[in-house]
Amino acid sequence: MTPTTLSPSTGEKDQVRPPSPVRRVLEAVGPQNVSLILALIVVVAIFGYLDSNYLSLSNIEVIGQTVTVMGLLAIVQTVVIICGALDISVGSQAGVASVVSAMVFTSADGNPLLGMTAALAFGAVLGVVNGMIIIYGRVNAVVATLATLAAYKGLAQLLSGGRAQGYVLGDDVFVFIARGKIAGIPTMIWIVAVVALAVHLMLKYTDVGRNIYAIGGNDTAARLAGININKYLVAVYALTGIVAALAGIILTARTGSGQPTSGSEGLELKAITAAALGGCALTGGRGAITGTLLAVVLLGALDNGLNVVGVNSFWQNVAQGTLLVIAVVLQQRRAGERRVGLPT
């Protein structure tokens, strides 16, 4: 039955046309994601035209493997931002976990599971420390994690003596993570997909996820509703530490040794950029994993394309910074917030 409404001029019933199939698809995907998909198509088309090898299956696989570490960090950064906070130390946490996984693996007579477990446990502790500083030290999340960014980087260098530690490419488990495939898809991509799916389901279909959105949207209302904000913040930062440690383990598998800084330097900016591009409001309360993943793929495709066509790698940082500024500007204008220093 076609829905009807009363015409304001005649008082007669007018038929309301159902939305077109194209509009239904756009509404289901979301305007933010549509923009990312269009941008990705443009990037792929440009670099595919400039270099025929860009669209080869091997290069697409390289892009997928390259963005795995950034993808994991962007996923948990999304959760932190939705909760109304920020974690600038995720790259350093990955570096510490990379070193710990390789050093424990070496000292435990080549036991990969022990090395990975130690790294994940260490990551959880680092995340809890971040949460405790913010809550009980009453420190702004940006300032707190900026401090631990430096502290954890120093910790990774102290543990490793400032150089790569261990050698893991002789181990089957690490080799499977770095080079293995399941159903023709690299293992590292499967790891990111599983983590992304788990976090997506948590945010969208559980009370925990709804409470995280509530805290980021209005922490006062969330507190009055009986949500224990302190507990949630510590849990979110613990989750961030665990996933950052998983990223560190992948970094160890890819490079063949524990890396205190190499490979993890600058990952925090990439993670924040991907989350912001994916639609996360930096003020909290809004965001989704699907948008973040699309942004991760876009950033990976852009970086790879610049490398393929021989553009100076320093331009990648320029491009990432520009994209972050664009994403924040669009968010501010969409939210209708007053521009700083200008009359309303």
Written in H, E and C, the secondary structure of 126-177 is: HHHHHHHHHHHCCCCHHHHHHHHHHHHHHHHHHHHCCCCECCCCCCHHHHHH
* Residue at 18 is within a domain: no
Q: What is the pLDDT of residue 224?
A: 92
Q: What is the total count of domains within the chain?
A: 1
Average pLDDT, integer, range 315-324: 77
Report if residue 335 sits inside a domain: no
Domain membership flag for residue 27: no
**334, part of any domain:** no
Could you list the residue range(s) of the whole structural domain that residue 183 is in? 56-302
Q: What is the mean pLDDT of residues 229-254?
A: 95
Q: Which two tokens stand for residue 145?
A: 């994690």
**Angle of helix 187-205 versus helix 229-255 axis, rounded to 10:** 170
Neighbours of 217 (CB within 10 A): 17
Asked if residue 287 is part of any domain, the answer here is yes
Between 281 and 15, the more confident residue is: 281
Q: What is the pLDDT of residues 189-217, one digit of tens each?
A: 999 999 999 999 999 999 999 999 999 99
Beta strands (DSSP E) in 142-275 are 181-182, 185-186
pLDDT at 107: 87
Structural domain contains residue 130: yes
**In 3D, which of 144, 136, 121 has the Cα closest to residue 245?**
121
Which 8-state DSSP code applies to residue 6?
E
* Residue 19 forms part of a structural domain: no
| Separation CA 161–CA 175 (nearest Å) | 25
Indicate which CATH number applies to the domain containing 201: 1.10.3470
Tokens of 258: 């524990």
Task: Output the pLDDT for position 14.
Answer: 52
Asked whether 239 and 79 are in contact (CB, 8 A), the reply is: yes
Query: Coil, strand or helix: which one is 206?
Result: coil
Q: Could you give the 3-state DSSP secondary structure of residue 77?
A: helix
Query: For residue 207, what are the contacts with CB-CB under 8 A and spacing of at least 6?
Result: none
CA distances from 225 to 136, 228, 231 (A): 22, 9, 14
Specify the pLDDT at position 39.
Answer: 87
What is the C-alpha separation between 308 and 49, in angstroms, rounded? 12
Please give the model's pTM, rounded to 2 decimal places: 0.86
Distance between CA 272 and CA 292 in Å, rounded?
10
Q: Which amino acid is at 176?
A: F
pLDDT of residue 86: 94
Does the pLDDT at position 312 exceed 90?
Answer: no
Domain assignment of residue 266, yes or no: yes
Of the two residues 21 and 259, the one the predictor is more confident about is 259
Residues 104-130: tens digit of each pLDDT: 998 888 889 999 999 999 999 999 999
